[in-house]
Amino acid sequence: MKNSIRKYRFLQNEMTQQILAEKTGVTRQTIIAIEKGSFNPSVKLALKIARILGVSVEQLFTLDLHD
């Protein structure tokens, strides 16, 4: 699964990974892992991230059918 979290963080006044982590209740390391694509968030976490960034889950995450 691919994501655009980094892009939307920067569109939100260059929100840091730490601030996003604090707002979602996870660690910065979790946000890093999600952005790198090495960890797929739960549906609940994906919805939280989308709400905080002001976009839909579909705008943040896309399924890579070749994986």
Q: What is the pLDDT along the chain (67 residues), one digit of tens a residue?
A: 899 999 999 999 999 999 999 999 999 999 999 999 999 999 999 999 999 999 999 999 998 777 5
Cβ atoms of residues 60 and 50 within 8 Å: yes
pLDDT value of position 66: 73
pTM here? 0.90
pLDDT value of position 67: 59
- The pairs formed by 30-39 with CB atoms below 8 angstroms and a separation of 24 or more are 31/5, 34/3, 34/5, 35/3, 35/5, 35/6, 37/1, 37/2, 37/3
Assign residue 2 a region (left: φ > 0; alpha: ψ between -120 and 50; beta: otherwise): beta
pLDDT value of position 64: 78
**What whole-number distance in Å separates Cα of residue 26 and Cα of residue 63?**
23
- Domains recognised in the chain with CATH numbers: 2-62 (1.10.260.40)
